[in-house]
Structure 1
Amino acid sequence: MSTQPEHPLGIDELLERVREDLDRVEAKEAHDAAQSGEALLVDIRYAALRDRDGLIPGALVVERNELEWRLDPQGSHRAPEAISHDLRVVVVCNEGYASSLAAVSLRQLGLHRATDLVGGFQAWKSAGFPVTS
């Protein structure tokens, strides 16, 4: 059983707490790591945002509600890219909020190098890195 916290956390405090354990990356570091094959970018944005804003070339698209099933290296529904718990995963959402929570969830599955992109897809796009329609 779990114990109830003294006072419920708000989302801002929760984000602050979970981000303490993440080595969050900026757009340039994410780009360089993806280009060198050192990291897998995982786009968790929903379809309407991908349709509106485009895609990061080479990123694995996995909607948030499927993320843990697709990235668990031991899972029966894993993506072919989910090869190891040592895989460096950079989760990308639209603006860098939901991705922090998603990265922590992946860490709970043993993907100890999971992190997220500061500012999300919008930061990637603003930095001038490639986007396809």
Structure 2
Amino acid sequence: MGTRVFERRTLAELLAEAEGRISRLSPSEAQTARENGALLIDIRSDSNRFRDGIVPGSLHIPRTVLEWRTAPESEFRNPYVDDLDHQIILLCDHGCSSVLAAAVLKEFGYLWVGDVIGGFSDWRDAGLPVGRARRRRSRPDKPAGMGPPDP
């Protein structure tokens, strides 16, 4: 097999490309989209959610398992993830990793994918709904990212 050569790209270039393929929403726009039926997926770590809080009604799928929980053909897909034509909005800590993650979902064929500009930090600062994360006991039969939306 031949060697495949890749052109090196900077993080700024990758982010710019990803931003051009998704919808970036302010926290208030994301809240309005949720009220109209969009699914908000929180990709932050458990520790950040326990420290900072959660968005009530959001679905927690950690970034580390996002592809396996959202790929339409994945046997490990979260049952609460909707069809490819349903709007999905990703939320991270500060609105950076969600850009790249949303671009991956676009590659899977999701038609309406976006993220929250400024992430959870800007969501909280905008005075939008925030709740406390509940500790869930980890169980071998319930892998990360497979639970229902947060209460």
Whether these two folds match at TM > 0.5 is: yes
- Radius of gyration: which is bigger? 2
- State the secondary structure of the residue aligned to 2:86: coil
Structure 1 unaligned segments of length 5 or more: list them. none
Match of 1:20 in 2: 20
1:2-57 CA-to-partner distances (Å, cap 9, x unmatched) read 5422xx212122111211122211111110111222x1000000111101100000
Structure 1 residue 66 displacement after superposition: 1.0
Is the Cα contact below 8 Å between 2:22 and 2:106 reproduced in 1? no
Q: How many residues align?
A: 130
Of all paired residues, the percent bearing the same amino acid is: 36
Q: Output the TM-score relative to the length of structure 1.
A: 0.91
Match of 1:59 in 2: 58
Q: Aligned runs of 1:1-133 on 2, under 5 Å?
A: 3-5=5-7, 8-37=8-37, 39-133=38-132
| C-alpha separation in 1, matches of 2:125 and 2:30 | 14
Worse-matched range after superposition: 73-82 or 40-49? 73-82
Q: Output the TM-score relative to the length of structure 2.
A: 0.81
Q: Larger relative contact order (C-alpha < 8 A, sep ≥ 6)?
A: 2
Superposition misfits of 4+ residues, deviation over 6 angstroms: none
- State the secondary structure of the residue aligned to 1:67: helix
| C-alpha separation in 2, matches of 1:3 and 1:18 | 22
